[in-house]
Structure 1
């Protein structure tokens, strides 16, 4: 596959799934400063407060961008038909507008990937619930996005927020690591399947954010990750603030180029 660049300065239909953390907020703000007027931003999450907060931040930019908030009551109930019907109803509003979308862009940051709790042991029911939220929901939404007839002739970009650390074996986090690795493989495989169909895919690791909390055991005792046989080299990398990481992703997409289906880490280069 050849290297790609994405032109974000187009009339874009942008979906941001998962907005209840600081990274998503800054991703939304920085992305929207690039989109052309008439673009549409669809924010999806189960927190009404987070949705409205990010919406206000985008409106403050005065970029003539339409913002839609989609409140999900439960990620566990968000299957393919749920997303397909909901997305179809939203897109129907814009079917008769003067301008067609030049670019369709979805960014997946569903779930609570950066946890401060060690997640073992877990029951089978807990595993199923976690997988439905962190893997099944993202796949269901992504399939609805890819098959939307309104985007059949539109260039598409799919970005998956992942973690270089958490797609490796990690003691006491097999649940989280399993989902992260599965998501990573899904987006890699999907990139191969869609190669040549005007669909580009990238999994982005935003770095170890300075907002990350120390991990705690079930008794709320702080755990030194280096004691858990974690990757010492990765853990000693400098912390990153969310705005830096957001700008870095945009720089990768627009300037540095990427190979569809590959993983890119913030630390691959320190230049913004």
Structure 2
């Protein structure tokens, strides 16, 4: 089955101010029909405005809204208000599809081992940003677009299915997040909902720079350094191109984990 992206769509992207969130926002927007609405969420207001400017330069007559938000503080009520604000004066029935990309996330403290952090508050703060806020937003998204065909993308990682030393925050958070979306896919299997857990590979972004700079995992640091030195680390453009291919070919089953390097 081919997934046609050229529909009048309500698109919501988190972490849309830079990196793959920014690139995915622009590339998906380029395929949408006029009258679509695109909502961009991140902390950096300037980064969001840059993404908005790039989308508007496409000239395909879509509306773009930006919201600078700290995911460590936002509540379900605020998510609901944000969604409703972006839909003011618009009928939900006008949209052929609602599409959300859960991209925002942090890597956590990679200088500590799995037994170094015993403070539950530190773990709670990490999970609030990377798991709880994601679930909260997704629930409100489904309530607002209850009768609309939906595509739900969770940006995951190989770290969600394989352990890496120094990455206890990131690995456990990605694993929890991915399992939530797998359960969602199982529950929504007959309701015109497509769920994809997409692992974009190691990308040349600030996140991998942080890992290379701070991680105690010498093997991982060495791998990232080698990829950067050899110019073989993936770019946001490369992984976004594969992401669009995966979506449009739709060879995966809803809820599947699909990696950039999968055939």
Query: What's the TM-score bracket when you normalise by the shorter of the two chains?
Result: 0.7 to 0.9
**Pair 197,126 (structure 1): closer, same or farther in 2 beyond 3 Å:** same
- How far is the alpha carbon of 1:128 from its aligned partner? 1.0
Secondary structure of 1:171 counterpart = coil
Contact residue 17 and residue 41 of structure 2 kept, 8 A: no
What residue is the counterpart of 1:118 in the other structure?
A: 111
The correspondence for 2:6, drawn from 5, 9, 12, is 9
What residue is the counterpart of 1:143 in the other structure?
A: 139
**Pair 89,20 (structure 1): closer, same or farther in 2 beyond 3 Å:** closer
**Pair 43,247 (structure 1): closer, same or farther in 2 beyond 3 Å:** same
The correspondence for 2:73, drawn from 73, 77, 85, is 77
- How far is the alpha carbon of 1:226 from its aligned partner? 7.6
What residue is the counterpart of 1:249 in the other structure?
A: 243
Contact residue 117 and residue 215 of structure 1 kept, 8 A: no
Secondary structure of 2:195 counterpart = strand
The correspondence for 1:63, drawn from 60, 70, 81, is 60
Secondary structure of 1:216 counterpart = helix
Secondary structure of 1:264 counterpart = strand
Gaps of 5+ in 2: 224-231
Write the deviation string for residues 48-87 of structure 1: whole angstroms up to 9, x where unpaired. Answer: 1111111111111111110001121x21222222212221
What residue is the counterpart of 2:33 in the other structure?
A: 36
The correspondence for 2:129, drawn from 128, 133, 138, is 133
| TM superposition score normalised by structure 1 | 0.84
**Pair 41,224 (structure 1): closer, same or farther in 2 beyond 3 Å:** same
Contact residue 3 and residue 250 of structure 2 kept, 8 A: no
Matched, 1:93 2:89: yes
The correspondence for 2:193, drawn from 190, 196, 199, is 199
Contact residue 79 and residue 136 of structure 1 kept, 8 A: no
With a CA cutoff of 8 Å and minimum separation of 6, indicate the structure with the bigger relative contact order. 1
- 1:85 and 1:156 map into 2 onto residues whose CA distance is 20
The correspondence for 2:42, drawn from 30, 33, 45, is 45
| TM superposition score normalised by structure 2 | 0.87
- 2:14 and 2:20 map into 1 onto residues whose CA distance is 12
What residue is the counterpart of 2:227 in the other structure?
A: none
- 2:85 and 2:221 map into 1 onto residues whose CA distance is 49
Q: How many equivalent pairs are there?
A: 249
- How far is the alpha carbon of 1:247 from its aligned partner? 1.1
- How far is the alpha carbon of 1:193 from its aligned partner? 0.9
Q: Provide the aligned C-alpha RMSD in A.
A: 2.3
What residue is the counterpart of 1:223 in the other structure?
A: 218
- How far is the alpha carbon of 1:112 from its aligned partner? 2.0
Write the deviation string for residues 13-54 of structure 1: whole angstroms up to 9, x where unpaired. Answer: 000011233111111111111101111100011211111111
Matched, 1:172 2:153: no
Gaps of 5+ in 1: 229-237
Contact residue 107 and residue 161 of structure 1 kept, 8 A: yes
- How far is the alpha carbon of 1:167 from its aligned partner? 3.4
What residue is the counterpart of 2:226 in the other structure?
A: none
